[in-house]
Amino acid sequence: MGFPFENATWDGVSGPIFMGYGTALPGLFTVLSIVICIVALAVGQKAEAAKYAKYK
């Protein structure tokens, strides 16, 4: 697996490297990440509340 550019500076890069640039993908991935974080927090809170109730 080699280096994708001929030189190791940013001078040889022209255009965006991210394939989703200029589309709805960055916004979609941001919303997806927010949803995943909220779900993880909700599941964690539910599990901790159940453990706390059992301990009490």
Convert the pLDDT of each residue in 20-36 to its tens digit: 777 888 889 899 999 99
Rounded to an integer, the average pLDDT of 8-19 is 69
pLDDT of 6 reads 67
Q: How confident is the model at residue 51 (pLDDT cuts 50, 70, 90)?
A: very high
52: region left, alpha or beta (phi > 0 left; psi from -120 to 50 alpha): alpha
Share of the chain above pLDDT 90, in %: 46
Q: How confident is the model at residue 9 (pLDDT cuts 50, 70, 90)?
A: confident
Please state whether the predicted TM-score (pTM) of the whole model is above 0.75: no
